Chain A
Amino acid sequence: MTEEIIIAGFGGQGVLSMGKILAYSGVMQDKEVSWMPSYGPEMRGGTANVSVIISDERISSPIINQFDTAIILNQQSLDKFENSVKPGGLLIYDPNGITHEPTRKDINIYKIAATAKAQELGISKVFNMVVLGGFLKLKPIVDKQYIHEGLEHSLPQRHWNLIPQNEEAIEIGKGLIEAVQTL
Chain B
Amino acid sequence: MARELQLMKGNEAIARAMIASGCDGYFGYPITPQSEVMETLMTEKPWETTGMTVLQAESEVASINMVYGGAATGKKVATSSSSPGISLMQEGLTYLAGAEIPCLVVNVMRGGPGLGTIQPSQSDYFQSTKGGGHGDYQLYTLAPASVQEMYDFVFDAWDIAFKYRNPVLILSDGAIGQCMEKLYTRDYVPRWTEEERRANAPWGTWGKPATRPHNIITSLELDSARQEVFNLKLQKKYAEMKEKEVRFEALNCDDAEYIIVAYGSSSRIAMKAMQMAREKGIKVGLFRLITLFPFPTKQLAEVAKRVKGILCVEMSAGQMIEDVRLATECGVKTEHFGRFGGIIPTPGEVLEALENKIIK
Contact = CB atoms under 8 A, between A and B. Distances in A.
Given A27-B5, A27-B7, A33-B7, A62 B268 contact: yes
Contacts of A41: 118
Contact of A34 (B119, B181, B346): B181
B346 A63 contact: yes
Contacts of B274: 60
Interface stretch (B17-25, B81-89, B152-160, B172-180): B172-180
Given A33-B182, A35-B181, A39-B33, A63 B348 contact: no
A65 B174 CA distance: 18
Contacts of B297: none
A48 B32 CA distance: 17
Nearest to A61: B272
A111 interface: no
A105 to B, nearest CB: 22
Interface centre among A36, A37, A63 (most CB of B within 10 A): A63
Q: What is the interface residue range for chain A against chain B? A: 20 to 34
B250 interface: no
A23 B348 CA distance: 24
Nearest to A25: B7
A146 to B, nearest CB: 12
B51 interface: no
Contact of A62 (B5, B6, B179): B179
Q: What is the interface residue range for chain B against chain A? A: 20 to 34
Contact of A32 (B33, B182, B268): B182
A75 to B, nearest CB: 24
B268 A35 contact: no
Interface string A1-36: 000000000000000000010011001000011111
Contact of B32 (A40, A62, A65): A40
Contacts of B174: 39
A63 B269 contact: yes
A64 interface: yes
B271 interface: yes
B258 to A, nearest CB: 17
B180 A23 contact: yes
B299 interface: no
A66 interface: yes
B265 interface: yes
A24 B348 contact: no
A36 B179 contact: yes
Interface of A: 20, 23-24, 27, 32-37, 39-41, 59-66, 153
9 contacts: A34-B179, A35-B181, A36-B178, A39-B178, A40-B33, A62-B265, A63-B346, A64-B272, A64-B346
